[in-house]
Chains A and B, each alone.
Chain A
Amino acid sequence: MELSDFLSYGFIQRALISGSFIALLCSTLGVFLVLKRLSLIGDGLAHVTFGSVALGLLLKVYPIYVSIPVVMASSLGIMRITERARIHGDVAIGIVSSIGIAAGVLLASIGGGFNIDLFSYLFGNILAISKAEMFISMILSLVVIFVIGLFYNEILSSVFDEESAKATGIKVKKINTILMLLTAVTVVLAMKMVGIMLVTSFLILPAVTAFQVARSFRSVMIAASSVAVLSVVIGILLSAGANLPSGAVIILTNFAFLILAFLLKKIRHGS
């Protein structure tokens, strides 16, 4: 089968479009989250999503309606625990994440019978994205990137050095809240479409790849987005051609970019 044959399939087109938008969105957020040492927040909030979807299914409410407020509150909880209890972000993520997954297991046990629905929310499938989900991914990406654009310099200043940012009159707490809420909405909606594995990897791998080669923060943003989108496109086409699981191939493609970037950095530094 030729490339043009693959591209003629609606599900491949939707996977390429939605996957690219979600990759762009997650990689943009991921640059800031990795620098704030919150790289595992995607994984942590995904576990909370699992718990909240179980709650929604138990209450017979559309799960996303329960997940969005619960995951937003959890992301703010992570921020609060880090600030108030003076513990590192990874520990705060671990606390919220384990509570989320424990609640999910408990509710699934109480509810019984809805485990299949629950796991479809957790693992998603990039090749099964509907038209409506494709438009949601596009709108979500544009809204989040627009908000990041509005606060770009304030976020950058806060991530670079919170203390100095406060001393220049930047409301660091407000900026952190915006970043956490954007992350929460992104994780909930993107997870349903592409699954926990891809969301977590899109938040970390493109950013780390860009850090190896970029010579300015602006170029980090461009490199991270480019690597993420290219990984989706190459990954989907390779997986379709070789009949392999697309999510795994996308992640391994991204990992290949990371290795290349690392080698390029080594060559540049002459060692």
Chain B
Amino acid sequence: MSLIIKSERLYCKYNSSEVLTNISFGVEGGEFIGLIGPNGSGKSTLVKIILGIITPSEGAISLFGKDLSVFSDWHKIGYVPQKIVSFNPYFPASVKEVVSLGTLSKKKFPKSISKADADAVHRTMEFMGILDIEHRLIGELSGGQLQKALIAKALVSEPELLILDEPTSSLDPETRENFYSILSELNQKKGITVVLVTHDIWSIGKYASKLLYIDKKILFYDRFENMKDFFASNMQWRDTCQG
């Protein structure tokens, strides 16, 4: 199967400290990757490099077989950022307007929203079960509703790859399980490749096809079942990965 993400010898430095060292891995179409590691391990940095938000010091990323420097099919990628740090919670936009912004990745200049886009927004909100709150302000939603809205925004362009950066950090356990079920359904029924950054290793283990465990470098990249063997021989990592 072709690689959707290919990372080759990636290094990243902030000032003089190394954040990522020699990161090489590949993600195949249809996989569900749990990207885990302790605080400050470089998970979010890796995601930002994959999305072209940060430029690495060395190394290369290719997406869908194209080097990141020439990649332009951004509609193939849906991104759900860390909610707490990403935007102003009092932003005066309705849920429908926020979800509509997800259609822009498909557009050339001028990026206007057409009737077909409006239909896609309606369908996606219906799929995510948030049609009843489409006119609510984004800042008035509960944690679970907000995550659904942000996923709908990421899904509206019908991406082949969905990248989520610690989306469950502010959710209660029940909402979190519900959220993982949605991701699992998207992965298995719609065939969307999922990369989920999380601290929640024990919950994600039953959904993810593979875990990518990093702490500045790759410590483990394999199936969840094989993680026990890894921990048996690397006890020092066991506690840190629980965040």
User: Which of A's residues lie within 8 Å of B, judged by CB?
Assistant: 35, 150-151, 153-154, 156-157, 160-161, 163-170, 210-211, 214-218, 220
Size of the B side of the interface (Cβ < 8 Å), in residues, is 35
Q: Report the separation of the CA atoms of residues A35 and B48 in the bound assembly, to the nearest whole angstrom.
A: 23
Residues of the B chain whose Cβ atoms lie less than 8 Å from the Cβ of A211? 90, 92
A164-B153, A215-B137 known; 11 new pairs, CB 8 Å cut-off, are A150-B110, A153-B101, A154-B111, A157-B104, A160-B87, A160-B101, A163-B79, A167-B79, A168-B74, A169-B72, A215-B135
Query: In this assembly, does B19 line the interface, its C-beta being within 8 Å of a C-beta of chain A?
Result: no
**Chain B contacts for A215, CB-based, 8 A:** 94, 135, 137
Scoring B53, B90, B135 by chain A CB atoms within 10 A of each residue's CB, the highest score goes to B53
From B53, B96, B101, B135, give the contact of A163 (CB < 8 A): B53
| Nearest CB of chain B from residue A23's CB, rounded to whole Å | 20
Q: Convert B145-173 into 0s and 1s, putting 1 for each residue whose CB lies closer than 8 angstroms to a CB of A.
A: 00000000100010000010000000000
Task: Among B72, B90, B97, B104, point to the contact of A216 (Cβ < 8 A).
Answer: B97
Q: With a CB–CB cut-off of 8 A, which chain A residues contact B163?
A: 167
Most buried by A among B75, B90, B91, B109: B91
Flag whether B86 is at the interface (Cβ < 8 A): yes
A-B contact pairs, 26 of them (CB 8 A): A151-B111, A153-B104, A153-B111, A153-B113, A154-B111, A156-B97, A157-B101, A160-B93, A160-B98, A163-B48, A163-B79, A166-B53, A167-B51, A167-B53, A167-B74, A167-B81, A168-B74, A168-B101, A169-B72, A169-B104, A170-B111, A211-B92, A217-B92, A217-B93, A217-B94, A220-B92
Please report which residues of chain B, range 161-213, place their CB below 8 angstroms from some CB of chain A when the two chains form the complex.
163
Nearest CB of A to B120, in Å: 14
Q: Mark interface residues in B109-123 (1 if CB within 8 Å of A CB, else 0).
A: 111110000000000
Q: Roughly how many angstroms separate A157 CA and B154 CA in the complex, as a whole number?
A: 13
Quick one: which of B86, B93, B109 contacts A164, CB cutoff 8 A?
Answer: B86
Binding site for A on B (CB under 8 A): 48, 51-53, 72, 74-75, 77, 79, 81, 86-88, 90-94, 96-98, 101-102, 104-105, 109-113, 135, 137, 153, 157, 163
Min CB distance, B158 to chain A, in Å? 13
Q: Which residue of B lies closest to A218 (CB)?
A: B97
Instruction: List residues of chain A with CB within 8 A of the CB of B109.
Output: 150
- Tell me whether A164 and B81 are in contact in the complex, defined as CB-CB below 8 angstroms, given that A156-B93, A216-B94 are known contacts: yes
Which chain A residues border B74 with CB–CB below 8 Å? 167-169
Cβ distance A209 to chain B, nearest Cβ, rounded Å: 12
Are B88 and A35 in contact, with the CB atoms below 8 A?
yes
CB distance from B44 to the nearest CB of A (A): 10
Q: Which residues of chain B are near A165, meaning CB under 8 Å?
A: 101
A residues in contact with B52, CB < 8 Å: 166-167
The reply to whether A161 and B104 form a contact with Cβ atoms under 8 Å apart is no
Residue in A closest to B112 when the chains form the complex, CB atoms:
A153
Measured in the bound complex, the distance between the Cα atoms of B29 and A196 in whole Å is 57
B199 nearest CB across to chain A (Å) = 20
A154 to B107, CA, bound (A): 10
Q: Assuming the A-B contacts A163-B48, A164-B79, are A156 and B101 also in contact, with contact meaning beta carbons closer than 8 angstroms in the complex? A: yes
Which residues from chain A contact B53 at a C-beta distance below 8 Å?
163, 166-167
Bound Cα distance from A210 to B113, whole angstroms:
24
**Across the interface, do B86 and A161 meet the contact criterion of CB distance under 8 Å?**
yes
CB of A82 to closest CB in B, whole Å: 16
Q: Specify which chain A residues have a CB less than 8 angstroms from the CB of B104 in the assembled complex.
A: 153-154, 157, 168-170
Residues on the B chain within 8 Å of A214, using CB = 92
Name the A residues within 8 Å of B90 (CB-CB).
Answer: 211
Distance between Cα atoms of A151 and B111 in the complex (Å): 7
**Contact of A166 with B92 in the complex, beta carbons under 8 Å:** no
Interface centre among B111, B112, B153 (most CB of A within 10 A): B111
Ranked 5 nearest A-B pairs via Cβ? A169-B74, A168-B105, A167-B79, A216-B94, A217-B93
Chain B residue nearest to A31 (CB atoms) is B92
Residue in A35, A169, A217 whose CB lies within 8 Å of B105:
A169
Closest A residue, CB atoms, query B113:
A153
* Contact, CB under 8 Å: A160 / B48: no
List the A residue with the shortest CB-CB distance to B111. Answer: A153
Inter-chain contacts of B137 with A (CB < 8 A): 215-216
Set of chain A residues within 8 Å of B101, measured between Cβ atoms = 153, 156-157, 160, 164-165, 168
A216 to chain B, nearest CB (A): 4
